[in-house]
Chains A and B, each alone.
Chain A
């Protein structure tokens, strides 16, 4: 099916998320939509899928102009979408999720489960997916959940398949498999719109590339263009793609944080953290790599005191932190940048100034005898906003009015402005634009160079490469191994898929331990 978007505009208030966008996707083509977070890619696809109504413009399918009042109509017209946040009901089985909305029924209104299972098995076999139709979706790893989403779209005979940031949750190996699937689908005649901000993937799989910036199409490109050219198109200025970490390695001092045999069991005795042990030294960044959901969240929550470990110890500069409350942990000098900024890092309806003292509002200089000292809070806010270059209208605006990058700067400003003994940063640049990423990375490295031990949790290999002095890879709640910072993507990818460190290093491309960033005790 030939898909054409003509002059699509979508406005939210005064803000144009999309402005006069033209796009043509030929049958059997893999068309990459490249752009930064917030450039308007997802909005455009939600317009195409009928979730938003465009303010102007036209959708044309095989020469016929169409309008979609809702996703149901888009689907009926042959458009399928795999959303960035999966649209699967966790407590339903795979088969129930796949047939939801177009259920085969018999005996009145009862769902014909054998037919539903057969449908899943048939599509699953066509692409070697190996998905059990009766498995509960919540029990499946994200990679498999994504396949369920693809099956769901194909079961409605989608001829245009939109994949919204599909690789964000995958290991490098799973990403390769997904690309093979995309090629297979394209060969079978399905048109694919592939939304991403990752240059490597675009160049590998796309037939043609459209770059979007600030809601506008800024140009077409061919996959053979060099990465630097694509990057500057995407960002709008020259970008230095070389490793940003110019200071090779931190001057690692003595061990500051020592985690030993940390274990957390969920109900039913299932370990979510399984005998995790590692050290972080003063002046080094230990990065925790791994696919989302392999225990990283539980690890940071245990360190900060949000979860009680079942066993094991957490020692920071000689004092045990395990079993302490969050307040005690924070007051002992731990800075914490949570992975879900909007939920755990700030109170969106509070002002920026209030958010800047969220962990210190109850003590001098910000409070005395049960009353807040608003003047002191205002002064501290002004000073921190300037020091961290936060772009705000007024410190009295609600936190929610800031962009993601500026919100993260506020959180960093708060966490870094106390005397730190440890900095924990979980997914510090998730959803940020390139400029903000650079700032956040620079701040983290500055702390390290001041001699503070830093623990960074990230699922992005680029971020690991930019920050890590050593990398601990987590897989199913275990630390699979700790490797030097310069370890190759292939090796890290293998480890993230569960291959033990020794095997991964031998089997990887041999790029491990190039000496740079290696830390020997």
Chain B
């Protein structure tokens, strides 16, 4: 009785069994190389013998750092040479089939942006006021951060929320109205999350209870909030602006000592209550989503609702509650547009920020820390475009307005990695 069948296939035995390796991918280093080439162009077009001025500290800081000017062309050349280090490292890692990771592209990005800034105002009278740049960037990212946290809570529990835009707008509206009626900006800050929660409740009822497609409900809610607030704005609010809609500003509360640290002090710690609430929200979510009972149940409903159901968790109740909570967070963020900025309400003043917040959440991989970083990046890019528009720069302002989106492409290309959404987001559950 032979066992011929046991022998491995004869052809297989003859072939050498060299270990098969994964194909190399050079996406990240190629993307970085393209950006490096653009930076080299900056070098070439920077006029020789001129300088670029920076202002680092405000007069009120502990330490006085005098304004300084750097020679433009040599600085750009040095920055280009410095960029070669992360660039070479990324090629090397990719060639060894290792992950390029986050830090190399980030370091490269900072150097690239600096070289851009040096070139763009080379020889001009304009000065880069870094504290203002950073403070405004932070300010512009406030609604993005709140919106991204909303998206995160909702999607982690399994509900896709594209109504962030509407929730921001509703928050901005109610904050302005209540603050005006009460003549107290803090009253507006209390009212804003209620407006967002109401929109969130509508989303929850239709998406979770009545099984309407989450994205359709979200889009409809955006239109609804936009229409409703526009209508009220052009009727009641405009008729008697003094009582219903006047500019009222949250006071700035500098934190003693911390606010006087050079550069970052005024940026981070000379802010309104809304910004401090934002710090708390990000910090709390970062811990609670991953380490608390609430977070575990939240994520279970978004990953595998039936598993949650079979251990006695009420899936739809959890989803509804947290969608409303998410709405409240975005509503609070909406207060940025009115009471935190000291502006009266105007039509559609959220201007698409809710959608950018959604993008920030995805770029941040459904993670509070990542979403915060992405939101700050978007805010920075936006402020850069604003500042460049004011300065007399060699490039047309239309092109400059593309900067935020260029930066987004860079971020997405450079920070590629495994992105995994909650497995059951956008689904319905019968419990």
A→B interface (CB under 8 Å):
49, 51, 70-73, 75-76, 81, 83, 87-92, 96-97, 100-103, 105, 108-111, 152, 258, 260-261, 263, 265, 267-269, 271, 275, 277-279, 310-312, 470, 479, 481-484, 501-502, 505, 512-515, 518-521
Contacts and interface: CB of A to CB of B under 8 A. Distances in A.
Interface of B: 1-6, 8-9, 11-12, 15, 17, 20-23, 97, 287-288, 291-294, 296-297, 299-300, 303-304, 306-314, 418, 420, 423, 431
B400 to A, nearest CB: 38
Interface centre among B287, B300, B311 (most CB of A within 10 A): B311
Nearest to A517: B5
Nearest to A71: B310
A311 B20 CA distance: 7
Contacts of B17: 261, 275
A111 B296 contact: yes
A479 B5 CA distance: 13
Contacts of A505: 3, 6
Nearest to B25: A267
Contacts of A502: 6
B6 A483 contact: yes
Given A100-B308, A275-B20, A482-B9, A261 B300 contact: no
A267 B311 contact: no
A110 B307 contact: no
B311 A103 contact: no
B4 A49 contact: no
Given A71-B309, A100-B307, A515-B1, 7 more contacts: A89-B303, A90-B304, A260-B9, A277-B11, A484-B5, A513-B1, A520-B5
Contacts of A72: 311-314
A100 B297 contact: yes
A353 B363 CA distance: 45
A442 to B, nearest CB: 25
Given A87-B304, A109-B294, A111-B291, A482 B6 contact: yes
A514 B8 CA distance: 19
A420 B21 CA distance: 34
A265 B288 CA distance: 36
Contact of B5 (A91, A103, A310, A470): A470
Given A258-B11, A505-B3, A92 B22 contact: no
A265 B294 CA distance: 38
A110 B310 contact: no
B294 A89 contact: no
Given A103-B293, A267-B418, A520-B2, A88 B307 contact: yes
B296 A481 contact: no
Contacts of A89: 299-300, 303-304, 307-308
A261 B15 contact: yes
B204 to A, nearest CB: 20
Given A90-B304, A100-B296, A513 B5 contact: yes
A173 to B, nearest CB: 20
B308 A101 contact: yes
B4 A520 contact: yes
Given A260-B15, A311-B20, A484-B5, A75 B311 contact: yes
Nearest to A88: B307
A310 B288 CA distance: 42
Contacts of B304: 87-90
B99 to A, nearest CB: 9
Contacts of A518: 2, 4-5
Contacts of B12: 260-261, 275, 277
B20 A101 contact: no
A386 B108 CA distance: 68
11 contacts: A87-B311, A89-B300, A89-B304, A92-B299, A105-B292, A260-B15, A265-B20, A265-B21, A269-B21, A513-B3, A514-B1
Nearest to B2: A520
A101 B312 CA distance: 6
Contact of A483 (B5, B21, B297, B299): B5
A97 B15 CA distance: 46
Contacts of A76: 312
Given A260-B12, A260-B15, A109 B288 contact: yes
A362 to B, nearest CB: 31
Given A258-B11, A260-B15, A519-B5, A310 B22 contact: yes
Contacts of B307: 87-89, 97, 100
Nearest to A86: B307
B147 to A, nearest CB: 24
Contacts of A87: 304, 306-307, 310-311
A99 B4 CA distance: 52
B310 to A, nearest CB: 5
B5 A482 contact: yes
Contacts of A73: 312
A102 B431 CA distance: 19
B359 to A, nearest CB: 23
B303 A265 contact: no
A320 B6 CA distance: 26
Contacts of A88: 304, 307
Nearest to A487: B5
Contacts of B310: 49, 51, 71, 81, 83, 87
A224 B368 CA distance: 60
B5 A101 contact: no
Given A71-B310, A101-B312, A310-B22, A92 B4 contact: no
Contacts of A100: 296-297, 300, 307-308, 311, 313
B20 A96 contact: no
Given A109-B288, A111-B292, A70 B309 contact: yes
A101 B9 contact: no
A177 to B, nearest CB: 24
B293 A105 contact: yes
Interface centre among B6, B8, B314 (most CB of A within 10 A): B6
A518 B7 CA distance: 13
A366 to B, nearest CB: 34
B11 A101 contact: no
Nearest to A273: B20
B303 A90 contact: yes
Contact of A265 (B4, B8, B22, B308): B22
Nearest to A85: B306
B246 to A, nearest CB: 41
Contact of B300 (A92, A512, A520): A92
A63 B292 CA distance: 39
B5 A110 contact: no
Interface centre among B23, B312, B420, B431 (most CB of A within 10 A): B312
A101 B1 contact: no
Nearest to B5: A484
A312 B12 CA distance: 11
Nearest to B3: A513
A312 to B, nearest CB: 8
B155 to A, nearest CB: 14
A515 B5 CA distance: 11
Contacts of A479: 8
Contacts of B5: 470, 482-484, 513, 518-520
Contact of A279 (B4, B6, B9, B292): B9
A273 B243 CA distance: 72
A156 B97 CA distance: 46
Contacts of A70: 309, 312, 314, 431
B3 A109 contact: no
Contact of B311 (A102, A268, A275): A102
A84 B90 CA distance: 46
Contacts of B3: 483, 505, 512-513
A482 B13 CA distance: 14
A103 B45 CA distance: 63
A75 B22 contact: no
Contacts of B20: 261, 263, 265, 271, 275, 310-312
A278 B296 contact: no
A520 B6 CA distance: 10
Nearest to B303: A89
